[in-house]
Chains A and B, each alone.
Chain A
């Protein structure tokens, strides 16, 4: 039977995207007013004069270069120089032609488009070839530029995507040693170490970092990491002062408001509401997703409609919103985009696959999501169990067998919850293989384990799964079981149990009709 993904708590841990995407979203811009070099006067008239006097390639090249630095690409003379370069391609190289084209096309593309997250690319992204290729390119760049911290973070991200966490850890630590006070490095570290369950390690680093004292983005991360450790952050007070001050653009304190609001909900709904509302003045996707999540958990706190915000890559918030409103297909599609945006994200896979499996009864879809998720979480017991379960339900038994072997290789010492689920899943597999006695026995074991451990819900889920298999196998159903189904139908609040009982009733009805 499926292992259920229960998201009891969501914290504002930074989303870890590529450097390019993170930059374009604006998460790496400065937060404080700084002194700018006043000697810099972005004027180009003198170079234009030279160009007007001598229309040569050298003059044109110099002019467009200076125009790029001065952000004067729209000047008529600059455009003319760029066209001159294009018209004299034989005297130019690719780089100069590209620069000239960028000037001619300035304004047509704002340059802020993020890397592709189109749904169509979901299947091909399950193919890891492109990830290995990126790793190979990054390795080569790092051989030449070992002191580039951004490249170390990038390669760590790709290692993380394919589940090579040891390599990822080494790489991200290199980035940290090179640039210990960099926001991008610290926030990527927070996400990565949270991902591999080393929260205390990364929290201690961020807690002690100098930048945490004045950077709202890093402070927000620290507060969330402290919450993950069930600690009260030492930055709560300074964080509250920071968001009260008018020194920051609302975008720069969106995550901080969100982190503070998540902590404050324990003590004051009123304070928390104010903080969440402030987080939505100019949110990033993470703050919006947090607000969306909290709005489902605390119904009276705030109301959020992600469509009211123009935020790039707000897939998580939209997935949650679609699920909340029963738009299951939308929810699955947004989950896929959420995964494409952050391919190491376990949450995206579990969220989408559960809806595909439970609400849409689309096990093909669930399997394709699990397959994608297993690339970055190759040993994830929940995903392995669930892909076996879904494969069995649509009788793809060879596939189920493959993942069963993988599961066995990884897990000899699981938690009771996992043992119960996997024992029941094995029962399902044996039923579908035609070994009903073994299947029956395994289901019985699962039900007994769950009952003895006081896990009534799990016992109920195992029971209805078992009964369904008996019916599909064409076996006669004892009166005892029929009675239990009637009782469960009246008493259960578990959607999965209700849905499987529905399946059972349909199966019985079909058999009666035949």
Chain B
């Protein structure tokens, strides 16, 4: 009688579920199983643990090639191949970042594979990241003015992270609150590069025009409008997502949520092509910025902050980016000016607190 694999406990099927207490070849000792980060690109097909090595704590993400076991109507071979490809892609991207010492991108500490006996699936592939305190959603509130300096510094950190990735011709594509991690309660870093796009590393999402989470995506994604140049297409999206994070920090809502709430109360924009819908997105956008402006109340640099969001999140991707970059030979979506703006705003706010 054949064994019904589905009826077995998962820690007997695959070693990936049974790593707690194990010492890995890379020197990491697995201490505790934890839930994958909600909304992370690998959340569905990874099993996560905490691990330690030489007193340092790491976040271990092990790939679960049987994550589709209970799904019906799935091409199992293809799903498994996709999972492995995604894992390998993220590993390659992270290694590329690691080689460049990107300070504001969640660092890959180790990657390895183990072969353990006694399981149907013996092989375990894993990545170990530096361990964050948590993602930003568990740090933030939306009223405390003292916190505002922290938020501005966090935005500055995120902008630096995006700039660092762009310098390697990598677009994050999936910047959202669950992918911003806080370290030592101070530093923010962007993580989860599973949906990133690179001009040189081919991954399972490379053929897509947008690989990230559509629930946070800019308007053009809903209409499948795409800029012709690869670099413009992907960096324009990162610009929007950075501005959208700023909106989240200020209002508690992403730019997409704010736009949808305003625009769709009047009109079903999804019935229109992008060029037809664009004037209506712009109209909603202006209303949203007025609302963000209202929330900022008497913040002394609110004009500068609003102006930055305005440039970052323009519904028309062609008009996104700092206006001073337009017409120059540089990439118009260059993050440098926004890094400088957020740094200035954060520094001013921090100085004000110290006084």
Contacts and interface: CB of A to CB of B under 8 A. Distances in A.
B39 to A, nearest CB: 5
A70 B215 contact: yes
Interface string B153-164: 000000000000
Contacts of A28: 267, 280
B114 interface: no
A50 B39 contact: yes
Contact of A102 (B39, B261, B294): B261
A242 interface: no
A66 B271 CA distance: 21
B214 A39 contact: yes
Given A59-B138, A69-B256, A151-B283, A94 B295 contact: yes
A182 B279 contact: yes
A57 B260 contact: no
Contact of B142 (A46, A54, A96): A96
A111 B262 CA distance: 11
Given A37-B222, A39-B210, A66-B257, A91 B39 contact: no
Nearest to B263: A23
A99 interface: yes
A23 B216 CA distance: 24
Nearest to A91: B141
Of the listed residues A64, A66, A85, the one surrounded by the most CB atoms of chain B closer than 10 A to its CB is A66
Contact of B177 (A30, A62, A64, A102): A62
Contact of B253 (A91, A96, A145): A96
Contact of A50 (B178, B254, B266, B295): B178
Interface string A78-110: 000000010000111111100100100000000
A151 B257 contact: no
Interface residues of A, number: 60
A30 B276 contact: yes
Contacts of A90: 143
B35 A49 contact: yes
B252 A96 contact: yes
B270 interface: yes
Interface in B230-262: 248, 250-254, 256-258, 260-261
Interface residues of B, number: 61
B208 A19 contact: no
A101 B222 CA distance: 26
Interface stretch (B5-13, B285-293, B326-334): B285-293
Given A34-B273, A47-B39, A54-B138, A95 B291 contact: yes
A230 interface: no
A61 B253 contact: yes
Contacts of A96: 142, 251-253
A149 interface: yes
A47 B37 CA distance: 9
Of the listed residues A54, A65, A99, A178, the one surrounded by the most CB atoms of chain B closer than 10 A to its CB is A65
B142 A57 contact: yes
A297 B97 CA distance: 77
B257 A150 contact: no
A35 B270 CA distance: 9
B275 A66 contact: no
Contacts of A68: 253, 257, 260-261
Contacts of B252: 57-58, 61, 65, 85, 92-93, 95-96, 99
Contacts of A69: 215-216, 254, 256-257, 260
A20 B286 CA distance: 14
A148 interface: yes
Interface string A13-35: 00000011001100011100011
A70 B39 CA distance: 14
B74 interface: no
Given A49-B38, A102-B261, A65 B208 contact: no
B279 A149 contact: yes
29 contacts: A23-B267, A24-B267, A29-B267, A29-B272, A30-B268, A36-B224, A37-B221, A46-B44, A47-B39, A53-B38, A56-B137, A58-B139, A58-B140, A58-B141, A59-B138, A61-B252, A62-B177, A68-B260, A70-B215, A92-B143, A92-B252, A93-B142, A93-B251, A95-B253, A95-B291, A144-B286, A147-B319, A149-B282, A181-B275
Interface of A: 19-20, 23-24, 28-30, 34-37, 39-42, 44, 46-47, 49-50, 53-54, 56-59, 61-62, 64-66, 68-70, 85, 90-96, 99, 102, 111, 141, 144-145, 147-151, 178-179, 181-185
Interface of B: 35, 37-39, 43-44, 134, 136-144, 177-178, 208, 210, 214-217, 221-224, 248, 250-254, 256-258, 260-261, 265-268, 270-273, 275-276, 278-280, 282-283, 286, 290-292, 294-295, 319
